[in-house]
Structure 1
Amino acid sequence: MGKDLLPTGGDGRASAEPIDLKKALEERYLAYALSTIMHRALPDVRDGMKPVHRRIVHAMRLARLEPGQRFAKCASIVGDVMGKFHPHGDQSIYDALVRLAQSFAMRYPLVDGQGNFGNIDGDNAAAMRYTEARMTEAATSLLEGITEDAVDFRKTYNEEDEEPTVLPGAFPNLLANGSSGIAVGMATSIPPHNAAEICDAALAIIDDPAVADERLLDFVKGPDFPTGGLIVEDQASIREAYRTGRGGFRLRARWEKEDQGRGMWTAVVTEIPYGIQKSRLIEKIAELIISRRLPLLEDVRDESAEDIRVVLVPRSRTVTPELLMESVFKLTDLETRFPLNMNVLSRGKVPGVLSLKQVLREWLDHRREVLLRRSRHRLSEIEKRLEILAGYLVAYLNIDEVIRIIREEDEPKKEMIARFELTDNQAEAILNMRLRALRKLEEFEIRKEFDKLSEEKTQIEGLLASEAKQWKTVRWEVSKVRQTYDPEKNPELGARRTTFADAPDHDLEDVHEALIEREPITVVLSEKGWLRAMKGHLSDYSTLTFKEGDSLKLAFHAQTTDKILLLTTGGKVYTIGADRLPGGRGHGEPVRIMVDMENDQAIVTAFAHDPERRLLLASHAGNGFVVAEKDIIANTRKGKQVMNVKAPDETKMCVTVSGDHVAIIGENRKLLVFPLSEVPEMARGKGVRLQRYKDGGISDLKTFAIAEGLSWRDSADRSFVKSREELAEWMGNRAAAGRMAPKGFPRTGKF
């Protein structure tokens, strides 16, 4: 059956050819990848354009849509581009055309649009039959000299026409307007920059080709986005990004505080980060307010007209505007990161990541190449014209003889060539002359034009012979572009829109707390390690219920903004945000689900974090040390190892440090009192011996002020206090054995 379906040769036999599928797929995928990289996704470093943009601008030039001239329907432009140059869908061409006209997408638009070209809210442009377009000044400077053999042309896809492989590019389009694209196995992301700054950096390279990358950043401060905003990246990473061609920039919205009177205020956002849709941004903020993830924020209003005005209303006048904005920046796109990946087609052929200096160097080399090609083209035109002028001069001096030859000879052209030693072109030009030109054909005019062109020819030949003169001319051309986009002469287009600032140095803890609604809770931990948070500060714990066989281990008051620290017998500390604890309905959840706790470890204690406190940790064997509570916070589920203990020893005690002395009692009921100063403070370790035991271990531990005396309560809840004098026989050095506890000390061996 299958054999009958195979294609057959002329003799009727099957002519299927076996191929290696792996090899065939590799070849085809490579062809696709190369096509995407070279002809779709990556811009050319010389003119900063991808083929679709280049073809749109070229088609508009052919349609004579110059600035100041008529507009043409976008449908007509798209039709031209699709029919002659770009064999892809009309919508993709129109989308590219629309983007070239959007002032919020392009720092220097290449298309001047008339009609609805979309907006920053993300609304689409009107259909192409309703909108009109023409080129801007930036687009015409990209095309400058294209008719003077400045660049190579190639056949179009149907070989009926020709298109430029690259534009002359007098305007530094790659850096000025930026570019982004995703190819196969590589991507590009270049932010827009300020044209005047780019020109200044380019002039610095012409003046000193060995100029350091660092020096260029005195001119190019960083990206300059059409939508403004603030760059809060530190200078060191900006320099590194431009030096390597890879990096990124933290970009924030611009905002200001507006007083509403009587102590009330609002924060008003006037510029949003580049590439962010305003409507989607406001929706996201509103969602966060509804889900109570932005507890400092009461409301968000969009009061934008032509300009941007997003009003953020705080829930309380007591909160600082900076902290409110910091919490909004943390959770929304009012702060974004714009990546820098200067992956471009070097010399139009080789994809690679270039540094700022390399990109400018390649653009300048291209400008010099364009200058040389235009100069050679002009030179050949001058030589042709000089040849014809020399012929006219001969004709003028022998006008009567020329007229006779034309009237009487059968082959006047041959006769003239032979008689006056003319070239073919000269004879043809004389024969094609109109009779009315005879009146104008005065020797003075011919000689004047001849001398002028001869002088220009000498200048061009001098330019082609001297590299120094070539760079001088390129420098003059770049300076001319610099003047067009000078921030002082043309502030509307040239002035920098994105400025630089240092991000306010708010403590991340403050911001984290600002994102959580502050409510009182009671944290409940059971003996079997089940954790929950009851609403409010409970005073009676006897009403709490537990699973069968389980009971209360400890409970304490906290706030939802607190961090809860758990210390295990293995000497590890785990951190859980109080806002993430399961609610009070039911019995909560096992701690082991919330953190990665070893099965053979149990919880020693739990408490709400206070960064100002110090803790005294002790193991069963009597080792211990003091640790600052701020040093034991764990940032991951794995926890943080604080006390090093080896089995069978384990972490047993954790008490808050206060006063100046330590009282420690062992399971052997021996009590020892010694100065706290003898216990070292460290962030992690085994600690030092606090009390020596023959067998057994520690029973209880306490720190106190010796001036106030050592106190404890017995089983009948009576209070006992021993003064410094009364404690004299139990006072000693750290690591001593101690003496039997005084009379009245509880049988439990606990203080």
Structure 2
Amino acid sequence: MTTKPILPGDGPIEPVEFRTALEERYLAYALSTIMNRALPDVRDGLKPVHRRILYAMRELRLNPEGGYIKCAKIVGEVMGDYHPHGNQAIYDALARLAQDFAVRYPLVDGQGNFGNIDGDNPAAERYTEARMTETAALILEGIDEDTVEFRPNYDGRVEEPVVLPAAFPNLLANGASGIAVGMATNIPPHNVDELCAALLHLIKHPNATIEKLVEMVPGPDFPTGGVIVEPRDAILEAYKTGRGGFRVRARWSKEDTARGGYQIVVTEIPYGVQKAKLVEKIAELMSDKKLPFLGDVRDESAEEIRLVLEPKTRVVDPVLLMESMFRASELEVRVGLNMNVLSAGQVPNVLDLRDVLWQWLEHRIEVLVRRSTHRLKKIEHRLEVLDGYLIAYLNIDEVIRIIRREDDPKAKLIAKFKLSDVQAEAILNLRLRSLSRLEEVEIRSEHDKLSKERRELKQLLKSEELQWEHVSNEVKTTREAYSKKTAIGRRRSTFADAPEVEVDLATALVEKEPVTVILSEKGWVRTLKGHQDDLSKLDFKQGDALKRAIKALTTDKLVLLTTNGKFFTLEANALPGGRGHGEPVRLMIDLEENHDIVEVFVHDPSRKLLVASTAGYGFIVPEEEVIASTRKGKQVLNVSEPDEARVCVPAEGDYVATVGDNRKLLVFKIDEVNEMTRGKGVILQRFKDGSLSDVRVFKKSDGLTWVDSAGREFTLAWGEMRDWVGERAQAGRVVPRGFPRSNSFGPRF
């Protein structure tokens, strides 16, 4: 069988440029996605599918105080009348509105299995039932009082609301997320009590700054709780621009276990994280050896979340363990903020916090005006009817006669009593039992009541101030219902600053204990448990003696300066124990035979050091710059033989004192000494003969101190040392009386 080709002129075929056709059709698709699927309306905070679900549930009379019906029935109603899409998409949207771990203030009250925080799906729609919550009823409140516009549904059979009245600030309270064509939205949930406080402030001060509003709305409030660790200035910037994000961490606590151990218990996980996948991911990271501090993870959750994390060893700091967990797993996530919404249901744009709140208030004013106008029309119609009734009661006999005798009683009544068509129709429809005297009294009472209400409504419609007062009272009522004192209103997410912790694997797994490091004159090193004060009983090899005893912790680093100007680094926990005489330092560092150790001390990265050679040259170096990463050490002070590195002291003070072998002392300002990371340095004190013996940095207010051979401490006050104060590179003067014969100021660290 052959197919006849389509030729020009055969039927209604129009040639169209492919690019033009593609642009037009893609634009139509993009607009449809933006307007009718992905972006929420700033007024009610709902996307079309959610709006249609709530409206269909209202039409089914699924009020909060009523009974439940099958979700399949609701989904069928939504799909058949309002939302011509797949039933699974509708049911997924309906189920999410019922999940208290996904929605801060659920709009659907579900009965049955609606999924869980582990990521399990809800049961099929034929097994679950639902009705509206009080929050949903609040969003729909007044919809039958001409408060919003309606439009024909997709096939024109029925009408659906364009937007809901929304007496509840749903957009920020429950948040929203969606991806359209070329744009997306992501709004985290917030606390209604805080939102209402900001709304009331905005009503009172329409020009309120975002800084002031953020004081009342400090950040999101997630249904799953957690701790928000985003800096305040970043949060403020996000609310100012409508774009940003929030770092959210799991909430955890430390529980002590037997034998001095502990475990971490996680009770809240970040918003949007599925617990089962989180545990699975942590276990995977452990097997990949990417969580060196973690020994085990267990999920002991029942109704409440309880994840147990066990450290690899009890010496691991819990804060350090959790910081490593936050960096590697979804125990910390970043929740984005992109307040891209539809203004007036038409214009997609990114709004700041103030604009979102203000546009909701404007919507509430419009709802109030429409509702009041609708009510006014009803009252005026009723008053017209009541006026007709009163005329009938005053002329009851004549009215009865006309109805009984006249062929066209309606026309006769209108002509006789100057009635309107509405009034005449109402009189003709009166029941005989309503013609009692009591009914007349009730009508007059109703007339007076409605007349008063009419006056109030007219005043309300004329006065903008009264309208804002009315909206303000509505917001106050909502705030009371969702107060932080209530179970649903209390804030679940809290704020904290993330601790600044450096994750150092080498020290994290070391038990933190006090030790005393013993270094002998011949370079043997060992550690004694605890901080020892009595060192008189220490035993050394024949001909050896104590050189330095340093009180440290097993987690500390020890820094050594040698006579060749090199610095070496040792870990305190790697040093040999106190039994025996220890081990030679030369086995741990590459130190030449002709050089020796000058100084050893505990590393303090925040400190600066003054280093100097026997030639009198020296400079200041930040202590973090002297740490050596290998056993070869780090060359810091450059010396040429026969000179050697002689001194290393903390540079804590405003003056420097130097003394030479020639017993001459010089004092000068520390500002005259350069700060470097490596070099020879500048001349500190000049010597005709001999060399530099010792250096001390001190504060002018404290004076210059030294310790003699008997261990006594002497202090030379500033007023007494003027003879020795000069400038760097001078020769100095002979030391004061009583200065030690060793030409040393005493201990340096």
Give the TM-score taking structure 1 as reference length.
0.70
Please report how far the alpha carbon of residue 682 of structure 1 lies from its aligned counterpart in structure 2 after TM superposition: 4.5
Distance 1:673 1:505, change over 3 A: closer
1:60 Cα deviation from its structure 2 partner: 0.4
Residue 500 of structure 1: which of 495, 504, 517 is its match?
495
Structure 2 residues without counterparts, runs of 5 or longer? 511-554, 556-602, 611-617, 648-669, 683-690, 695-728, 730-749
> Secondary structure in 1 aligned to 2:253?
strand
- The letter of the residue matching 1:49 is L
| Matched residue SS, 2:144 | helix
Confirm whether residue 37 of structure 1 aligns to residue 34 of structure 2.
yes
Q: What is the rounded CA distance, in whole Å, between the counterparts of 2:181 and 2:675 in structure 1?
A: 56
Contact persistence 2:255–2:263 (CA under 8 A): yes
Partner residue of 1:6?
Answer: 6
SS of residue paired to 1:189: strand
Could you say which residue in structure 2 is the equivalent of 1:596?
A: none
Match of 1:421 in 2: 418
- Deviation, 1:437, is 2.1
Shift of 1:443: 2.6
- Give me the whole-angstrom Cα distance separating, in 1, the residues matched to 2:506 and 2:420: 88
Task: Encode CA deviations 1:707-729: one digit per residue, 9 max, x unaligned.
Answer: 69xxxxxxxxxxxxxxxxxxxxx
CA contact (8 A) 2:173 2:191 kept: yes
CA gap of 1:123–1:707, structure 2 versus 1, over 3 A, is same
- Whole-Å separation in 2 of the counterparts to 1:375 and 1:683: 79
Q: Is 2:313–2:509's contact at 8 Å kept on the other side of the alignment?
A: no
Q: Does 1:118 align with 2:115?
A: yes
- Report if the CA contact (8 A) 1:101-1:112 is conserved: yes
Is the alpha carbon distance of 1:689 and 1:443 closer, same or farther for their aligned partners in structure 2, counting shifts above 3 Å? closer
* Structure 1 equivalent of residue 239 of structure 2: 242
Tell me, in whole angstroms, the C-alpha distance in 1 between the residues paired with 2:60 and 2:218.
38
**Structure 1 pair 330/625, CA: closer, same or farther in 2 (3 Å)?**
same
Is 1:454 the counterpart of 2:451 in the alignment? yes
Name the counterpart of 1:323: 320
For residue 496 of structure 2, what is the amino acid of its counterpart? Answer: A
C-alpha distance 629-20 of structure 1, shift in aligned 2 (>3 A): farther
Deviation of 1:435 (Å): 2.4
1:160–1:335 distance in 2 versus 1, CA, 3 Å: same
Q: Which amino acid aligns with 1:337?
A: R
1:39-438 matches, cutoff 5 A? 39-438=36-435
Q: Describe the shift of the 1:511–1:341 C-alpha distance in structure 2 as closer, same or farther (beyond 3 A).
A: farther
**TM-aligned CA distance change 1:397 to 1:267, over 3 Å:** same
Structure 1 residues 655 and 112: CA distance shift in structure 2, 3 A:
closer
Shift of 1:510: 2.5
Aligned to 2:18: 21
What's the offset of the Cα at 1:170? 0.3
Say if 1:227 and 1:512 are closer, same or farther in 2 by CA, change over 3 A.
farther
Deviations 1:1-37 (A, max 9, x none): 999432675xx5x653221111111111111111111
Deviation at 1:70, TM superposition (A): 0.7
Distance 1:424 1:632 in 2: 103
- The runs of 5 or more residues in structure 1 that have no matched partner are 517-560, 562-609, 617-623, 634-652, 666-670, 691-704, 709-732, 734-751
**Residue 688 of structure 1, CA deviation:** 9.5
For residue 269 of structure 2, what is the amino acid of its counterpart? I
Q: 1:614 to 1:453 in 2, by over 3 A?
A: closer
Task: Please tell me the residue identity of whatever aligns with 2:504.
Answer: D
Alpha-carbon deviations, 1:621-655, whole Å to 9, x = none? xxx9997685699xxxxxxxxxxxxxxxxxxx995
- Going from structure 1 to structure 2, the CA distance change for 1:34 and 1:632 (only over 3 Å counts) comes to farther
Q: What letter corresponds to residue 493 of structure 2 in structure 1? A: T
- CA deviation map 1:89-124 (0-9, x unaligned): 000000000000000001100000000000000000
Report the CA distance between 1:187 and its aligned residue.
0.8
- C-alpha RMSD of matched pairs (Å): 3.3
**Is contact 1:45–1:174 with CA below 8 Å preserved after alignment?**
yes
In 1, distance between residues paired with 2:229 and 2:305? 21
Aligned mates of 1:372, 1:103 — CA distance in 2: 34
Cα 1:614–1:406 change in 2 (3 A) is: closer
What is the one-letter code of the residue matched to 2:639?
Answer: A
**Residues 47-70 of structure 1, C-alpha deviation per residue, up to 9 Å, x if partnerless?**
000000000000000000001101
Residue 656 of structure 1 corresponds to which residue in structure 2? Answer: 635
Alignment deviations for residues 477-506 of structure 1 (CA, whole Å, 9 cap, x no partner): 010000100112xx2101100011111121
Q: Match for 1:132: what amino acid?
A: E
Cα deviation digits, residues 204-238 of structure 1 (max 9, x gap): 00111111211112211210000000001111111
Question: Structure 1 residue 422: deviation in Å?
Answer: 0.6
Contact map agreement 1:8 1:15 (CA 8 A) in 2: no
Secondary structure in structure 2 of the residue aligned to 1:415: helix
Give the TM-score, by structure 2 length: 0.71
> Does the 8 Å contact 1:615/1:657 carry over to 2?
no
Matched residues in 2 for 1:431 and 1:511: separation?
Answer: 94
Partner residue in 2 for 1:510: 504
Aligned AA for 2:636?
V
Give the Cα separation in 2 of the matches to 1:394 and 1:226: 61
Structure 2 counterpart SS, 1:147? coil
Provide the rounded CA distance (Å) in 2 between the counterparts of 1:202 and 1:195.
10
Residue-by-residue CA offset, 1:76-99 (whole Å, 9 max, x unaligned):
000000000001000000000000
CA distance in 2, matches of 1:513, 1:336: 27
Give the letter for the 1:189 counterpart: N
CA distance in 2, matches of 1:334, 1:164: 41
Q: What secondary structure does 2:264 align onto?
A: strand
CA gap of 1:475–1:627, structure 2 versus 1, over 3 A, is same
Is the contact between residue 278 and residue 329 of structure 2 (CA under 8 Å) also seen in structure 1?
yes
> Take 2:23 and 2:507, find their aligned partners in 1: how far apart are those partners?
54
> How far apart in 1 are the matches of 2:427 and 2:81?
39
- Alignment of structure 1 residues 697-736 onto 2, 5 Å: none
Query: Matches of 1:627 and 1:30 in 2, distance apart?
Result: 65
Contact in 2 for aligned 1:327/1:512 (Cα 8 Å): no
Give me the whole-angstrom Cα distance separating, in 1, the residues matched to 2:490 and 2:287: 40
CA 1:688–1:265: 2 relative to 1, 3 Å:
closer
SS of residue in 2 equivalent to 1:224: coil
- In the TM superposition, residue 512 of structure 1 has moved relative to its aligned partner by 9.3
8 Å contact from structure 2 (residues 106, 133) kept in 1: yes
What's the CA shift for 1:657?
Answer: 2.4
Q: Is the 8 A contact 2:317 2:508 kept in 1?
A: no
